[in-house]
Amino acid sequence: MTDALSAVGITVRPDGWIEYKSMLRSVGASGKTSRVEGKREEDGGCTLSGSYEAPFGSTQATYTEEVAYNPETCEFDILVADLTSSQAADLNSMSDAAPSDVSSTEDSADALSSDKTGDAATLATTYSRYLKTSWIDPINITISSQKVGLKWTSSSWLNWAYKRDSFKGCVGGVCLDKTYIYSGSDSFSTLSNGWKKTANVHFRNTSFAKWVVGILGASGWAACGFPTSSQADFYHTDSVTGYKNGGSAWSWSDSKSGACTNLVHHGDQTGASYPF
> Once rounded to an integer, what is the mean pLDDT over residues 101-106?
56
> Once rounded to an integer, what is the mean pLDDT over residues 108-115?
76
pLDDT at 98: 44
> Once rounded to an integer, what is the mean pLDDT over residues 130-137?
94
Query: What percent of the chain is predicted at pLDDT more than 90?
Result: 48
**Cβ–Cβ under 8 Å, residues 199 and 109:** no
Q: Which of 22-26, 64-68, 97-101 has the lowest mean pLDDT?
A: 97-101
Contacts for 152 with CB less than 8 Å, ≥ 6 apart = 126, 127, 128, 158, 194, 195, 242, 244
> Once rounded to an integer, what is the mean pLDDT over residues 183-193?
96
Residue-wise burial string across 231-255, b where 16 or more C-beta atoms lie within 10 A, e elsewhere: ebbbbbbbbbbbbbebbbbbbbbbb
Structure-model confidence comparison of residues 139 and 160, the more confident one: 160
Mean pLDDT of the chain: 85
* pLDDT tens string 36-68: 999 998 877 899 999 999 998 888 788 999 999
Structure-model confidence comparison of residues 86 and 126, the more confident one: 126
**Cβ–Cβ under 8 Å, residues 46 and 39:** yes
* pLDDT tens string 203-221: 999 887 777 777 677 777 7
Q: Which of 19-28, 155-164, 185-194, 249-258 has the lowest mean pLDDT?
A: 19-28
Give yes or no for residue 1 having a pLDDT over 50: no
Q: Which region holds residue 85: left if phi is over 0, alpha if psi is between -120 and 50, else beta?
A: alpha
How many other C-beta atoms lie within 10 A of the C-beta of residue 227?
A: 16
pLDDT confidence tier of residue 109, bands split at 50, 70 and 90: confident
